[in-house]
């Protein structure tokens, strides 16, 4: 399962440099996560780096 950024994203960009696999990119006024690339920080412990820095808590598990 991957993560997803909701429409509540304010476009701050804090999450993009935190992604160790480059799955986050700017998509207009908000950011998005490529589910084919996102590995939920598998090699970085139990925390999701992008979720930790998001000021509006708009990064959630992608629903299948």
51-61 tens-digit pLDDT: 999 999 999 99
What CA–CA distance (Å, rounded) separates 11 from 28?
Answer: 9
* pLDDT, tens digit (0-9, with 9 covering 90-100), for 13-30: 999 999 999 999 998 889
Beta strands 30-33; 24-27: pairing state: antiparallel
64 confidence band (pLDDT: 50, 70, 90): low
Distances 21 to 24, 31, 35, 56 between C-alpha atoms, Å: 8, 15, 11, 22
């Amino acid at each position: 399962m991957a993560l997803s950024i909701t429409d509540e994203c304010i476009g701050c960009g804090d999450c993009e440099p935190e992604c160790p696999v480059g799955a986050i990119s700017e998509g207009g006024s908000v950011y998005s996560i490529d589910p084919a690339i996102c590995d939920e920080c598998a090699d970085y412990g139990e925390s999701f780096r992008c979720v930790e820095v998001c000021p509006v808590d708009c990064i959630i598990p992608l629903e299948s």
